[in-house]
Structure 1
Amino acid sequence: MIQAQIQAKALADLPGVQHRFFTRLGGVSTGLYSSLNCGYGSGDSPDNVRENRRRAAVTFGLAEADLLTLHQIHSTDVLTVGAERWGSPGAPKADALVTDRPGVVLGVLAADCAPVLLADVKAFVIGAAHAGWKGALGGVVEAAIAAMERLGARRENLRATIGPCIGHASYEVGPEFPRPFLDQNEANGAFFRPALRAGHFLFDLAGYVAQRLGRGGVTVSMTGHDTLADPDTFFSYRRNTLNGVRDYGRGLSAIALES
């Protein structure tokens, strides 16, 4: 059965925390963006995106204005959310959010990149990070952990779940791609295997992100969904590109503290 929301057991049993990995189902957008496209950066109607985001926020018992996402730029920049709110479009540029405040939903958008949701329920601190290959390599998840620690979280109490993203069998990369990962650590070769095309490789993005989190002392799980391989359930930038389609919908992953 296809679900409109995916929850990870590692986070679902944490008291005081709600989280959702939303699929593309359950919204009002049509055509290319069907149906729960939550990204204003797409060519979708802003009214449709706003309604989709409202529907997502309501599942947390909050309003659309309480759902905060970012203008994501594949960086390692993290924003700490207090009482401020901002609108989208016009969101600040960064790739992770953290807070110790209830009444706000932290969201990241993805269409193959890895969404990461984090929580420390002893300190009641949460985070959400957008980890494409560039941000993951640069250390966006470590930056998010450090920001959570500044709010009182302890990494040994942190749980993180990597949501739906492009799978190892789907993520073909060129011959130049592995080099920065290998320069960082030769052991990163374990995240690459030969593709059918000569000189190309298949990259395990989720596995690499999980390793970075685990080395940081965080308990990690993965939902295990491959966004490219399941067009009925997930948006995928790579799938659309391979099909000659230039735009794509954005899926939402979100986390909030209960009041």
Structure 2
Amino acid sequence: MTLEILTSDVLTPITHGFFTRRGGASSGVFSGLNCGIGSTDQTDIVKINRDRVADALGVEDGAMIGVRQVHSADVAIVTEVPSDRPVADAAVTNIPGLALTVLTADCQPVLFADQEAGVVGVAHAGWRGALDGILEATLNAMETLGARRSSIAAVIGPSISQRAYEVGPEFFETFLTDDPHNARFFANGQGDRLHFDLPAYGLHRLREAGVEQAEWTRHCTYSDEGRFYSYRRSTHAKEADYGRLISAIRL
């Protein structure tokens, strides 16, 4: 099956894509294009999947630079192929031929580009990272490589939508403590449950940081099992593990 790659006009003509699970070699709960190195999927099968992604991006597998994601606000500035994955939740580069990648399964994958300056970036922005400033940190790191905030475009890829993201009162209080205006990103659910709009919060943070071209692809990972992996959906189904989607950008 052919790979399915979601792209955005605001990042074109820079090579980029939010890869769905279609077109991969994995089976079982991982069925499709599981690129999760840390998953319990067969290592050789994950390698096949990642090779397919590299081929689609026009790079060797060794030129696909990922990070060891820990829900932080840390950014790796990539000026050469690292010997190991940096511990961070975002990466930026101005080196042609290097493809920056992040893995997600409900969290926001965010691709950034300043085409004029020749600087790109990626970020893994779950609720914790977004709250702690991973998106702003990525923009700051891009500026150290010569990007201009007003010229940066940012696109949030497939993420869990508000309808599927049920949270408790403690979660709500965490966001209100940071900023009382964050109440706008929550809707009432049953009992004391609420529903959090992660992509809307991500777009808010990007726009407040000065990114004029910011959008979400409007794909919900939880509700479309045929195209996307979802940590929360797998948890609800009591599955032993889950696949990881890959998103990438390169100069």
Structures share fold, TM-score greater than 0.5 = yes
SS in 1 for 2:155: strand
Q: What runs of 5+ residues in structure 1 fail to find an aligned partner?
A: none
Aligned residue in 1 for 2:151: 157
| TM alignment of 1:42-191, pairs within 5 A | 42-86=39-83, 91-191=85-185
Q: Does 1:20 align with 2:14?
A: no
- Taking the aligned partners of 1:239 and 1:21, their CA distance within structure 2 comes to 19
Identity of aligned residues (%): 47
Q: Does 1:202 align with 2:195?
A: yes
- Cα offset for 1:121? 0.7
- Taking the aligned partners of 1:92 and 1:156, their CA distance within structure 2 comes to 28
- Cα offset for 1:35? 1.1
- Cα offset for 1:42? 0.5
SS in 1 for 2:171: coil
After superposition, the CA RMSD in angstroms is: 1.2
- Taking the aligned partners of 1:174 and 1:131, their CA distance within structure 2 comes to 20
Per-residue CA shift, 1:62-112, capped at 9, x if unaligned? 11111111110000010011122345xxx2211000000011100000000
- Taking the aligned partners of 1:83 and 1:221, their CA distance within structure 2 comes to 29
Q: Is the 8 A contact 2:3 2:23 kept in 1?
A: no
SS in 2 for 1:142: helix
Q: Is the 8 A contact 2:3 2:24 kept in 1?
A: no
- Cα offset for 1:160? 0.2
- Cα offset for 1:203? 0.3
Q: Is the 8 A contact 1:119 1:126 kept in 2?
A: yes
Superposed structure 1 runs of 4+ greater than 6 Å apart: none
Q: Is the 8 A contact 1:66 1:85 kept in 2?
A: no
Q: What is the TM-score normalised by the length of structure 1? A: 0.94
- Taking the aligned partners of 2:3 and 2:207, their CA distance within structure 1 comes to 28
Q: How many residues align?
A: 249
Aligned residue in 2 for 1:33: 30
Query: Which of 242, 247, 252 is 2:241 aligned to?
Result: 247
Per-residue CA shift, 1:43-75, capped at 9, x if unaligned? 001111111111001112111111111110000
- Taking the aligned partners of 1:231 and 1:85, their CA distance within structure 2 comes to 34
CA pair 25-131 structure 1, distance change in 2 beyond 3 A: same
Q: What runs of 5+ residues in structure 2 fail to find an aligned partner?
A: none
